[in-house]
Amino acid sequence: MRALGSGDIIYIIMAVRWTLLLSLVAFLGGAIGGALVALARTSEFKGVRIVSAGYIKLFQGTPLLMQLFLAFFVPGLFGWSVDPWTAAALGLSLHASAFLGEIWRGAIEVVPRGQWEAATSLGLRYWPKMVLVIAPQAIRIAIPPTIGFLVQLIKGTSLASIIGFVELTRAAQIINNATFRPFTIFALVALIYYVICRPLSAYSKRMEQKLLVAAR
Amino acid sequence: MSYEFDFADVFAAWPELLQGLLNSLVLSALAMAIGMVVSVAGALGKTSGPGWLRRIIDEYIELIRNTPFLIQIFVIYFGLPAAGLKFSSNAAALLALVVNVGAYGIEIIRAGIESIQKGQVEAGKSLGMRPLQIFRYIILKPAIQAIYPSLTSQFILLMLNTSVCSAIAASELTAVAGDIQSRTFRSFEVYFVATCLYLGLSVFFWTVFAGIERAFLRKPTR
């Protein structure tokens, strides 16, 4: 065992970049997947709606940790070995696409029926209707819960440490194993997550209040 | 696909898996029950406590909501012994789950309390209802109806969160799965079965919560 030095602290703080990068990749992947899931959930074809609803339930009904384990081991079944980074990015993206899909489905459905009918009666087909009429109204409603989910996602990246990806939490564990100063180290890490997540939470809450006032 | 599935070793360990599943269920149920008490107490403190208490509760809520559950477990299990507070891994897991769910529960319960308008209570009084009737029919039932969906989905999240407690070797399903995996090396098979069991737990809780809603919380039809 050795003493906790400034090099250790810097090592932990530098690991934040992996937490942020993983969050960003998972959020982008989840946004693309989530858009598809949301469109599938609001599709006019019953089969598509049922399959996408099942996808969402599957991810809402199982722990994120299990999803990460399976993202790590399932590619192996097909002979592809993935490193922890790829598995974490894949697992978190799929996870995010289910949750964002459900959030955005809600936002799409809140757009009043008359808007859909008006767009259809103007002769707009599916894509122009979605992009020009529905999306601009749905996005406004979707922003606060989307940012709220981003906070969940950033916190969720800490579980990537369990499948061996060295991000903030794993870096802290490594340093703790060498120096054994658990309280100082994990309190510091909690503070770092707090500094990242708190402004996002506050922003999400403020936007929500604004929408509530506007809706009155 | 050249992979050969082999579930035999995993199914041979079914008594362990069943025990892990039961432990997860008990851990979730205990945390939900104690978490409810914390949430109600916290919500009362936040709505009618003195200013300093409200600020403490607010800080607690923000601190927990903006840090990962895994770190909260680590602080409680590895960090607190340095301050002289030592827990077994199962006790630390339960404590971490309660501390975590409390931060979400307080806000949910507070929203329920604030959803009851004063005029409703006054209307009850003028109809000649007794205080206990007013509390039961005008305050409690509508408040629970208002928050039931968010409260129950929070409970499901809590149950799913118990899997993270494997990180400190609490004896729940994910830790059991990890044990079996390190013995048999059938990684995919073990985690696939464990995932299915968690899905089973979710379906169980979804069904129970929907049943409770149908039995007690049906809104009057006009």
d(CA B120, CA B127): 11
What single DSSP character describes residue B221?
A: P
d(CA B153, CA B63): 21
d(CA A54, CA A47): 11
A91/B contact by beta carbon, under 8 A: no
Split at pLDDT 50, 70, 90, the class of B11 is confident
Q: Give the mean pLDDT of chain B.
A: 91
Split at pLDDT 50, 70, 90, the class of B41 is very high
Which B residues in the span 164-183 are in contact with A, Cβ-Cβ below 8 Å? 164, 166-167, 174
Nearest C-alpha of chain A: how many angstroms from B128? Answer: 33
Of residues A55 and B140, more confidence is placed in A55
CA nearest to B156, candidates B124, B199, B215, B110: B199
Q: Rg (Cα) of chain B, in Å, rounded?
A: 21
CA nearest to B35, candidates B82, B92, B103, B111: B103
Tokens of B203: 């379906």
The pLDDT tens digits for B147-188 are: 999 999 999 999 999 999 999 988 899 999 999 999 988 889
Tokens of A72: 């790590």
CA nearest to A176, candidates A1, A40, A19, A47: A1
Give the residue-averaged pLDDT of B203-217. 91
Nearest C-alpha of chain B: how many angstroms from A158? Answer: 7
ipTM (interface pTM) = 0.91
Split at pLDDT 50, 70, 90, the class of B220 is low
Give the residue-averaged pLDDT of B32-36. 95
Place of tokens 């770190």: B71
3-state secondary structure B70-101: HHHHHHHHHHHHHHCCCCCHHHHHHHHHHHHH
pLDDT at A212: 81
pLDDT at B57: 96
pLDDT at B131: 85
CA B51 from chain center: how many Å? 28
Sign of CA dihedral B133, B136, B140, B144: negative
- The count of other CB atoms within 10 Å of the CB of residue B22 is 12
Q: What is the pLDDT along chain A (216 residues), one digit of tens a residue?
A: 788 888 899 999 999 999 999 999 999 999 999 999 999 999 989 999 999 999 999 999 999 999 999 999 999 888 888 999 999 999 999 999 999 999 999 999 999 999 999 999 999 998 999 999 999 999 999 999 999 999 999 999 999 999 999 999 999 999 999 998 999 999 999 999 999 999 999 999 999 888 888 766
Q: What are the start-end ranges of the H helices in chain A?
A: 6-14, 16-41, 46-60, 64-77, 84-110, 113-121, 126-128, 135-156, 168-179, 182-215
pLDDT at B142: 85
Return the SS3 of B107.
helix
Tell me what percent of chain B is helix, strand and coil, each rounded to the nearest 5: 85, 0, 15
Which sequence spans correspond to the domains of chain A?
6-215
Residue of B27, B74, B77, B190 to mutate when probing chain A, most A C-beta within 10 A: B74
CB-closest option in B72, B78, B206 to A182: B78
pLDDT at B133: 87
d(CA B7, CA A39): 37
Give the residue-averaged pLDDT of B94-121. 92
Please give the CATH number for the structural domain made up of B16-216: 1.10.3720.10
Top CATH class of A6-215 equals mainly alpha
- Sorted by sequence, the CB contacts under 8 Å of residue B220 that are 6+ apart come out as none
B222 has a pLDDT exceeding 60: no
- The count of other CB atoms within 10 Å of the CB of residue A75 is 16
Split at pLDDT 50, 70, 90, the class of B1 is low
d(CA B44, CA B32): 18
CA nearest to A144, candidates A202, A59, A93: A202
Give the residue-averaged pLDDT of B86-113. 94
d(CA B156, CA B205): 7
CB-closest option in B3, B160, B191 to A70: B191
Chain A residues closer than 8 Å to B82 by CB = 182-183
Which sequence spans correspond to the domains of chain B?
16-216
d(CA B27, CA B168): 14
